[in-house]
Structure 1
């Protein structure tokens, strides 16, 4: 995908193809990756009709990172490891940017004694097992529609460029989010602490407020401060207004007072947060 994007995108450049790229990238990251995969399938931070969940998960699969079950396993392995006092460099993003890029984008970590996983309802869902087995092939129907709409130009920009940017961008923001940036919370006993990446808030649909997410992993709302954009949560609230989402979990719902410490910088009046330790 990356080679095709680098060599073919300039040849098949058109403004309509660029517009398709931005539209599909934004829509798939918002609906699929942020809301479908992360906040619904992995953390189950809200409830919705099964048909809607499956639609969002299919969109998440079309982002091009992996199938739904592998996404759960990768996410939960990393979360489990980062909560330990000692975390492997691969899972902590502790190495240099170049080495971490090679590891995360081109390698796989095989553990001799991996933790056991229970995929729950997702593991029993035949549709999700189908997506897991065919996740790469899910680009084919998207490519067919793009070809009918705008020919090769739309396919190159709507598939190759989109997938390359989404996958590489996911690693890049994740790398930064575990190395440097603002922090409002510290997770007690965790070997890896998260940071926020403010400039990436809109491109990631709110996922870049990663320090907040480490503190309240089950919350559907990740952008906690008034100045923290969170389009993923805004979309969930829209679904709620339409009667398509309910039982939305917010930071103050789970009891996290014993697990996290709020930093003094988060208590400044100009950054007044709806979540404080007293509020918890």
Structure 2
């Protein structure tokens, strides 16, 4: 969902994109428009010469946890984001945005039918809680600890690769690579790195389900990008 909806790093049929976005929505963070706005706001803030600690996960973990899970930040002069009309005017995404919390209900009913309330508690309540806390935890590590092979000049916040979480996050924890080449469909850019999400996309490419996968070599050169730790 992240690589398609936000970064357009590959092409696929509309039905497959809707499926991926729906699976992203039921993680429990937001609807499709809400996820784009949150992502773009954080990305914009981190690329400034000064970034508020909220966007950069720069406070102690207990405080950052409280901020990220229970709080929101309101800017006096927020930036304006022009989300593509292919999203804002798309009836499927408009429906997902309006009903994103309610989209847990079909799965909850299925789980209740299969196993009663214990399945609902584990399959909805516990799953969403773990997903949201896990999303924060990986974000906290990926902006503070790990490996770096690239530095984005003039950006206040840098990304870090977190190898121990690579399998769990399907490659999304290679955040230094992602900061360097956000439009790449492959996050595993160094020897020994494993991006399961990329492997899935490559397999789907052989089946004709996705195409035009973007790699760093396809992206415009960034003058502010500097190679380090050679």
TM-score, scaled to structure 2: 0.96
Secondary structure of the 2:16 match is helix
Establish whether residue 133 from structure 1 lines up as the match of residue 98 from structure 2: yes
- Highest CA radius of gyration, 1 or 2? 1
The alignment's C-alpha RMSD in Å is: 1.1
Size of the aligned set, in residue pairs, is 229
1:101 matched to 2:73? The reply is no
Q: How does 1:223-234 map to 2 (within 5 A)?
A: 223-234=188-199
- Confirm or deny that 1:262 pairs with 2:220: no
1:41 aligns with 2:35: no
Give the structure 2 partner of residue 202 of structure 1.
167
**Which of 59, 70, 77 is the aligned partner of 2:23?**
59
Whole-angstrom CA distance in 2 between matches of 1:144 and 1:110: 36
| 1:162 alignment partner in structure 2 | 127
The unaligned stretches of length 5 or more in structure 2 are none
| Contact 1:216–1:256 under 8 Å retained in 2 | no
Whole-angstrom CA distance in 2 between matches of 1:58 and 1:193: 30
Secondary structure, counterpart of 1:233 in structure 2: helix
* 3-state SS, counterpart of residue 103 of structure 1: helix
* Higher fraction of helix: 1
Q: Which runs of 5+ in 1 are unaligned?
A: 1-35, 268-280
Q: What CA distance in whole angstroms lies between the structure 2 residues aligned with 1:101 and 1:129?
A: 30
Query: 1:180-238 deviations in whole A, cap 9, x for unaligned?
Result: 21111101111111111111111111000000000000100011123212111111112
Q: Could you list the runs of 4 or more consecutive aligned residues of structure 1 that deviate by over 6 angstroms after TM superposition?
A: none
Describe how 1:60-209 pairs up with structure 2 within 5 A. 60-120=24-84, 121-209=86-174
Distance 1:213 1:153, change over 3 A: same
**Residues in 2 aligned to 1:116 and 1:130: alpha-carbon distance in whole angstroms:** 23
Return the alpha-carbon distance in structure 1 between the equivalents of residues 126 and 151 of structure 2.
Answer: 36
Cα distance in 1 between the residues matched to 2:221 and 2:164? 27
| TM-score, normalising length: structure 1 | 0.80
C-alpha distance in 1 between matches for 2:87 and 2:135: 23
Q: What per-residue deviation string (whole Å, max 9, x for no partner) do you get for residues 132-162 of structure 1? A: 1111111100011111112222111111111
